[in-house]
Amino acid sequence: MSTTDERGASRAHRPDDSLARLRREGRIVIVGASLAGLRGAETLREEGFAGSLTIIGDEPDRPYDRPPLSKQVLVGGAAADRTTLPRRRAIRAHWRLRTAATGLDLTARRVRLDDGDEVPYDRLLITTGARSRPWPQPAEAELDGVFVLRTNRDAERLGRRLMAGPRRVLVIGAGFTGSEIASACRELGLPVTVVERGPTPLVGALGGVVGQVAAELQREHGVDLRCSVMVTALEGDAAGRLRRAHLSDGTALDVDLAVVALGAVRNTEWLDGSGLGAGPRGVACDAGCRAFDVRGLVTDDVFVAGDVARSPHPLFGYQFLSLDHWGNAVAQAEVAAHNMISPGPDRRPHLWVPAFWSSQFGVNIKSIGVPSMGEEILIAQGSLAEHSFAGVYGCQGRVVAAVTFDQTKWLDFYQQQIETAAPFPPPFRSVDRRPDGLHPVPAEFPDPSLPSHGPTVTLCGYSPTERRIVFTPARA
């Protein structure tokens, strides 16, 4: 015992020393003041970080919840300024809101701000998230009556205009946000047209088979749904108010309100030229949330979490996944924060299985895994026709994802199937298996991305600390 102590004490710069100093008096800066940033900050304090904590965000408000903005807020069920995120604990942070980060100096370890200030850090957590993709024609985007929906201010403005009773609402894009907005409009009794470039709503996220159900839901609820059509131009009147939309099928539509719901753009421009591996698809990081630089080398003082992160996932062939999911933001921020102040062996990989939910047209949609990786889908429970089912996606003979419409309570089972690389199609009988669920059918993704061949990887372990990966090497 004594020799070990002596040897330990004689080391001038043990890694533990610097880590202990960091935990005691280090400077941690978080850029991005939304869900991931807040949960990251709370985790740092929860795990004993006692140094200074600065949170930088370009929005004026403290972190707030976004999912209600396309749902309850639009129908008047909740006020847009009342979705402030609940706090798990005090974080004693220095908040710099209404302030955007404009640059990063990796060598000097400083974040540049739009007010000219620079903030030094010992560890940096990047949680700048994403913003809504704007309408590509700036002049048309400026028309009065053209909206996007991402922030609480967006929701407040859009909600007010919906309450004012527009003649007809045009929703451009039938992804989750667009579909939820259309659902809110119908709940308010407003005439709504949805224009979607793909063959069905939600086709990119869930494929054409499930997308067809989403299309039926929309039409049954009185949505004028037009698929395989694009909006080519938005036309304003002399006063700059939106009055008409022109479509790629040659028709035009008189509308006084249009919501552009064409997905999200990741907020990485401020990192241009910094040397960090950042681009339109996000900031690349390893499974421990450490950012890569442009050379593909991993940094040890810059961490990434939430919508802006791209990280390799062992369950999906180590592809880099960007997940703009609420639950991912929380889980990844917790892992990033933990790893920022923990020694190597205590660090954890971010092994969260992708999951998201949506509620639209009275149906609760939940998905787990990566459906877009699925080549085929099997309706394992319930029926598409009844809009109540559990669908399982398979890729190369294994289960990679599942989706439920109003069948949420089964998802834990399918998560376990994904985590253990269970065979697809599922060889077993289950409750509520219908005749149309006997055989898998093509999932009908417009552009399926296939995972690489390789060893099968499964997750095991019950608690986050004992979560492990098990390799089953591919047979030659």
Binding region for other proteins (CB under 8 A): 380-382, 386, 388, 390, 409-413, 416, 428-432, 462
CB of 191 to other proteins, least distance (A): 23
How far is Cα 180 from Cα 360, in angstroms, rounded to an integer?
Answer: 5
In terms of CB distance, is 357 or 413 closer to other proteins? 413
CB of 254 to other proteins, least distance (A): 34
CB of 73 to other proteins, least distance (A): 17
Angle at 129 between CA 176 and CA 158, to 5 degrees: 50
**Residue 446: cis peptide before it, omega within 30 degrees of 0:** no
For the chain, what's the residue count? 476
Residues in Cβ contact with 233 at an 8 Å cutoff, skipping those fewer than 6 apart: 137, 140, 245, 246
CB of 392 to other proteins, least distance (A): 10
Instruction: Name the residue with tokens 């067809």.
Output: 212
CB of 465 to other proteins, least distance (A): 12
In terms of CB distance, is 13 or 429 closer to other proteins? 429
- Cβ–Cβ under 8 Å, residues 195 and 170: yes
Q: How many CB atoms lie within 10 A of CB 205?
A: 20
Residue 446 is classified by DSSP as S
Long-range residue pairs from 444-447, CB within 8 A, at least 24 positions apart, any chain: 444/199, 444/203, 444/207, 444/208, 444/209, 444/211, 445/203, 445/204, 445/207, 445/208, 445/371, 445/372, 445/374, 446/198, 446/199, 446/203, 446/204, 446/208
CB of 430 to other proteins, least distance (A): 4
In terms of CB distance, is 319 or 420 closer to other proteins? 420
If 0-12 CB within 10 Å is exposed, 13-18 middle and 19+ buried, where does residue 436 land?
A: middle
In terms of CB distance, is 292 or 410 closer to other proteins? 410
CB of 393 to other proteins, least distance (A): 16
How far is Cα 288 from Cα 311, in angstroms, rounded to an integer?
Answer: 9
In terms of CB distance, is 129 or 440 closer to other proteins? 440
In terms of CB distance, is 164 or 431 closer to other proteins? 431
In terms of CB distance, is 12 or 90 closer to other proteins? 90
How far is Cα 356 from Cα 367, in angstroms, rounded to an integer?
Answer: 5
CB of 434 to other proteins, least distance (A): 9
In terms of CB distance, is 276 or 418 closer to other proteins? 418
Single-letter residue type at 310: R
